[in-house]
Amino acid sequence: MSSQFLPVFVQILVAIGFAAVSLTLSVVLGKSGRTNKTKDSAYECGMLPIGDGAPRFSVKFYLVAMLFVIFDIEVVFMYPWAVQFRDLVSHSVVPLLSMAGFAGVLAFAYVYALKKGALTWR
């Protein structure tokens, strides 16, 4: 049993040895960089780093993003069903009714989001 895993163990040892030798040689032979205030400052497309790093986004942005993901995932479920539609419906009508129920729930969710004003930008 252990002879079957011998190539795997050899490969693991070679990988660990290569990593150790590479890191050791880079420390021994590499130059250490000098630090100063200019080199240690953040570089952002040539602009001086003034102000907050990340702007604040409205909750509305995240709400629309979540709605997009939810309604986009429906395609993941509908596409395979649409590809197999002819074979599924030839055997029974249950797949058609189940997808109609799924689309109905999504339509209800879309109308609910519209009524709540989730998709209106002010």
DSSP E strands: which ranges in the chain?
Answer: none
Percent of the chain exceeding pLDDT 90 equals 25
pTM for this one?
Answer: 0.48
Q: Where are the domains of the chain?
A: 59-116
Report pLDDT digits (tens) over 58-81: 788 888 888 888 888 888 888 888
Which whole-number Å values give the CA distances from 23 to 13, 19, 26, 37, 118, in the listed order? 15, 6, 5, 27, 53
C-alpha closest to that of 64 among 5, 6, 4, 121:
121
